[in-house]
Structure 1
Amino acid sequence: MSKQLRIGIIGSGGIARAHAEAYGQLDNLVIAAVADIIPGKAAEFIAQTGLAEAQAFDDHRKLLELDLDAVSICTPNVAHYQTTIDALRAGKQVMLEKPMSVTLDEAVHMTQVAKETGAMLNIGYQPRYDPNTVLVRDLVQSGQLGKIYYVETGGGRRRGMPQGTFIRKDLAGAGAVVDIGTYSLDMALNALGFPKPLSVSAYSSNHFGTNPLYHPQASAFEVEDFGVAMIRFENDIVMNFKISWAMHMDTLGATMFLGTDAGLKITPAGTGPWSGVFDGRVGSITLYHDIQKHNTHSEIPLIDHKLNLFHEKVRDFVQAVRENGPAPIPGEQIVRSQAILDGFLRSAELKREVEIHIPEL
């Protein structure tokens, strides 16, 4: 039998509970420590989740002094960078919640430190584990679409604005774009094989978040609740990226891939005000193509499953830790997503197109 893995959790908010639950369903593993910068919060988390063997810390650096195999980093976005750097330099394998970081420079440095130390840096995008998301990737990469020249991705909640740390720029860094937009972006980029982004022209607003008619913390709302951008990539690909926490519309449309031989449309699953973005399941997949010069389309049957995608994400990470394998979702991939998010925020602030330059990793 393999040795018992010892896991630490840094940050004890809502997402940390999901990590604790997922780890708790795996054999031969113990959550040995929890850290949170707010005094007493880690101890409270341990008591509430029944982690009898876990130690509580108010300083993540003290947690990292323990004999741990890996850590889950579940802090607010702005703390991802330094906490990850500290964990990698302490020799811990890292499961980092999305978004990877706030800026491109941070993401690049995190990836470089992972290479220098030999520690794993895995980024948590659970929609990758939906069999239908895998099907979309395989269809796009099969060549059936021909040369892909245009991609549209994103989506919008009619109402779905969070509160607390999500709306504070000093903690979250940004709003809807990095919260749910990053999932839609990852779905498209993963299917395309992560082409290199070259430029971004973006617009963002927060008309709903700052209006007390729509948000109970309007006076504290500091981030965007809507964003849209045109992104240029190498190989003459363009992407229309759009995302919304709130709007007067039922949808911002499906994700689509337009190719010279066929097109692919993907709709998200779910109903209600918080649905409409790809942070969950796929609703339908349709291939548009020609047969004998006749326009036609084929509904691709969805794969029926009952997988808990979050648990699959954690299970895959733990397996990689046990086998000393590569990161299931490596930082090198997500640097390109982060470059787009970084360019998006710069462009929206400057109100003009900006170029993207990604250093060699």
Structure 2
Amino acid sequence: MHSRRNFLQQIAATAMVLPFMSLPGWAVTRRPKEGKVLRVALMGLGSYANRVADAMKSCTKAKLVGVISGTPSKITDWQQRFDIPAANCYNYSNFDRIRDNPDIDVVYITTPNALHHGQTLRVAAAGKHVICEKPMALNAHEGADMIAACKKANVQLLVGYRMHFEPKTLEIIRMRNSGEFGKILFFQGQCGFRIGDPTQWRLNKELAGGGSLMDIGIYAINGARYMTGEEPLWVTAQETKTDPIKFNAGVDETIQFQLGFPSGAVASCLSTYNMNNLDRFFLNGEKGFAELQPSTGYGPIKGRTFKGELTQPHMTHQTVQMDEMADILLAGKQPLVAVNGEEALKDLKIIDAIYQAVKTGKKVNLA
């Protein structure tokens, strides 16, 4: 594990020094030709990449065509499992060569959080679109840098917000937009689980950038925004740590945080690595309510409103996400809830503010 951490940290360090290329414009706002699919390379072949790859077997608009990994045995295995040609296989040292590969449109980055920034800069410099897992970066400064790099390279930056395409979630947003809940008063987001292996990268400050807030709490942050339809003005937060050995300095175990919105609505949220059975969103308005439980897991999502049970069919989140992202990148489709870098930057600014509120014990203004 120690050698793997060193290896990943070396990747992050070397990723920062590569220059940008001058690239021609991309026709990303035109309708794709009949039958055109988004050709995807996955970077970082861990458990979530496997989930995405399996889900993409059912996609009609996106196809897995390439891989990037620091482990040769994984590349060999993926070649066999997903029929990936050798010409589309890269490691962390040579993946800049994708600039010369016309058979890859986008790279989906699923590596540890600390690597997202440098790897995004390199992919953008190679002239490929980027899909980055959340959190997009370790902080808002890195996130803004990633957005600027992709704009400079004239490529698009999307973030893996799969819940933005989930049918029951979208139905609640539709109901809110149509005024069925009336004035929104309150949101509650509870996100957490008891984390296992104490040596995993999620509990390594240098690779994760934090603890539960970076991994699971971001769902409550993002959910508070898309469920209320507002951007918060202020945040307060409190941290609880019962195991300072497992959750060492800079790795949060449990954080409770509160958000205030322009309309007067408030949010009360919890993020934890020390409690199971926490995956619930609740939205309350003057005329009615909505509840999702589970709210952000891989599914099926279950929910109800004051009008009854939500019955939209379950679809594999990553299948829907990748087909929708194909439409965004190839056809210029605008999703109901944004999934671009600017959307992710808003979450990062709130994360920064939450950590500041924990440190200072004071309300932090976001305006």
Fold match, TM over 0.5?
Answer: yes
Q: List gaps (5 residues or longer) in structure 2.
A: 1-33
Tell me: CA distance 1:314–1:30, structure 2 relative to 1, closer, same or farther (3 Å): closer
* TM-superposed deviation, 1:220: 7.1
1:333 aligns with 2:358: no
Distance (whole Å) between structure 2 residues aligned to residue 27 and residue 147 of structure 1:
39
Once the two structures are superposed, what CA deviation does each residue of 1:168-210 show, in whole Å capped at 9, x if it has no partner?
Answer: 11111122112122223323311323x33322211223424x4
Distance (whole Å) between structure 2 residues aligned to residue 343 and residue 41 of structure 1:
41
* TM-superposed deviation, 1:253: 8.5
Aligned 8 A contact 1:57 1:63 in 2: no
1:316 aligns with 2:332: no
Distance (whole Å) between structure 2 residues aligned to residue 306 and residue 187 of structure 1:
19
1:66-215 equivalences under 5 Å are 66-67=101-102, 68-157=104-193, 159-161=194-196, 164-193=200-229, 195-208=230-243, 210=244
Secondary structure in structure 2 of the residue aligned to 1:235: coil
* TM-superposed deviation, 1:22: 2.9
Tell me: CA distance 1:104–1:41, structure 2 relative to 1, closer, same or farther (3 Å): farther
Aligned 8 A contact 2:257 2:268 in 1: yes
* TM-superposed deviation, 1:71: 1.0
Q: List gaps (5 residues or longer) in structure 1.
A: 212-217, 270-276, 288-297
Per the alignment, residue 281 of structure 2 pairs with 255
Tell me: CA distance 1:64–1:172, structure 2 relative to 1, closer, same or farther (3 Å): farther
Secondary structure in structure 1 of the residue aligned to 2:138: coil
Aligned 8 A contact 2:124 2:153 in 1: yes
Distance (whole Å) between structure 1 residues aligned to residue 323 and residue 197 of structure 2:
28
Tell me: CA distance 1:160–1:135, structure 2 relative to 1, closer, same or farther (3 Å): farther
1:46 aligns with 2:78: yes
Distance (whole Å) between structure 1 residues aligned to residue 37 and residue 311 of structure 2:
34
* TM-superposed deviation, 1:35: 2.0
Distance (whole Å) between structure 2 residues aligned to residue 234 and residue 321 of structure 1:
33
Distance (whole Å) between structure 1 residues aligned to residue 343 and residue 177 of structure 2:
16
Could you tell me which amino acid in structure 2 is paired with residue 232 of structure 1? Answer: G
Could you tell me which amino acid in structure 1 is paired with residue 283 of structure 2? Answer: F
Per the alignment, residue 21 of structure 1 pairs with 54
Aligned 8 A contact 1:197 1:232 in 2: yes
Distance (whole Å) between structure 1 residues aligned to residue 48 and residue 207 of structure 2:
15
1:266 to 270, 291, 295: 291
Aligned 8 A contact 2:203 2:247 in 1: no
1:286 aligns with 2:311: no
Q: What count of residue pairs does the alignment treat as equivalent?
A: 326
Per the alignment, residue 14 of structure 2 pairs with none
Once the two structures are superposed, what CA deviation does each residue of 1:27-66 show, in whole Å capped at 9, x if it has no partner?
Answer: 5865443223x35365355356344413232323234553
1:240 to 265, 268, 271: 268
Tell me: CA distance 1:233–1:17, structure 2 relative to 1, closer, same or farther (3 Å): same
Could you tell me which amino acid in structure 1 is paired with residue 188 of structure 2? Answer: E
* TM-superposed deviation, 1:307: 0.9
Once the two structures are superposed, what CA deviation does each residue of 1:261-288 show, in whole Å capped at 9, x if it has no partner?
Answer: 224141413xxxxxxx63344333232x
Aligned 8 A contact 1:127 1:279 in 2: no
Secondary structure in structure 1 of the residue aligned to 2:263: helix
Aligned 8 A contact 2:55 2:316 in 1: no
| TM score, norm. by length of structure 2 | 0.77
Aligned 8 A contact 2:162 2:317 in 1: yes
2:352 to 327, 342, 346: 342
Per the alignment, residue 294 of structure 1 pairs with none
2:257 to 200, 207, 229: 229
Could you tell me which amino acid in structure 1 is paired with residue 222 of structure 2? Answer: D
Could you tell me which amino acid in structure 1 is paired with residue 266 of structure 2? Answer: V
Question: CA RMSD, aligned part only?
Answer: 2.9
Distance (whole Å) between structure 2 residues aligned to residue 173 and residue 241 of structure 1:
20
Could you tell me which amino acid in structure 2 is paired with residue 246 of structure 1? Answer: N
Distance (whole Å) between structure 2 residues aligned to residue 71 and residue 312 of structure 1:
17
Distance (whole Å) between structure 1 residues aligned to residue 347 and residue 297 of structure 2:
15
Tell me: CA distance 1:99–1:162, structure 2 relative to 1, closer, same or farther (3 Å): farther
